[in-house]
Amino acid sequence: MPILTKSRYWTRCLERRKLKNCNGRSTKWWWRMTIYRASFIYHIPRKTLERRLKQNNYIKGPMGPSLTLGTENEKRLSKHIKDMQLRGFPLTIDDLRTISFKFAEQLGNKHRFNIEPEKAGYDWMHMFLKRNSDISLRKSEGVSYARSQGMNKAEVDAYFEMLERILSDNDLINKLGHIYNMDESGLQLNNRPGHVLAEKGSKAYR
């Protein structure tokens, strides 16, 4: 039998709702017990039992500090990473750290990110990827000039289908003034591939 820590033992007791036995609501007489006896049997502090019974709270909450961005905002950030990948612009590690810092600043949340480089820490990034296991770090593909010249009709059609979908989703089809052209003079013909963030199971990431 695996060793149970105090936290895991409390969680198991709370999930099984055995603490309800302390308030005498059980129909079986042998399950009715005092708080002192329940504290001794389940190895839970008496004050903890009294507080939870008073609040009618039998659910064990997560340990440690709360998330810097919050659960919902982390879901939004995860969706943004996937959207950027689908559009052909996957984010790098530095991109994620920079965006996370700016996101926390806009939300006004207290954080312990690096103020001077204005980036989230590597520890936070690794924990974020651990919480969002559907995102992985992959090595991007280098696109050479010769390969770009080998585009076929299927690839071009797929690109314009994606472009039409993005314009429709953002209501930009009849708003051409909101679409900006990028100067291509600064684009490299043969870039050195690095590591980018992509959804697990996806194949297109560059």
Q: Which residue(s) pair with 138 in the sheet? A: 196
Question: Residue 114 in 3-state DSSP?
Answer: strand
The 10s digit of each residue's pLDDT in 137-151 is: 887 765 554 455 556
Question: What is the C-alpha separation between 81 and 88, in angstroms, rounded?
Answer: 11
* Mean pLDDT over each residue of the chain, to the nearest integer: 73
- Cα–Cα dist 168/145, whole Å: 31
**Residues 6+ away with beta carbon under 8 Å from 198:** 85, 90, 135, 136, 138, 205
pTM of the model: 0.53
Residues 44 and 18: their CA atoms lie apart, in Å, by 12
Specify the pLDDT at position 17. Answer: 46
Query: Which of 48, 54, 50 shows the shortest CA–CA distance to 7?
Result: 48
One DSSP character per residue, 122-142 reads HHHHHHHHHHSTTEEEEEPPP
Counted residue by residue, the chain has a size of 206
- Position 79 scores a pLDDT of 92
pLDDT at 167 over 50: yes
State pLDDT tens for residues 61-86: 666 667 788 888 889 999 999 988 88
Confidence grade of residue 36 (pLDDT, cut at 50, 70, 90): confident
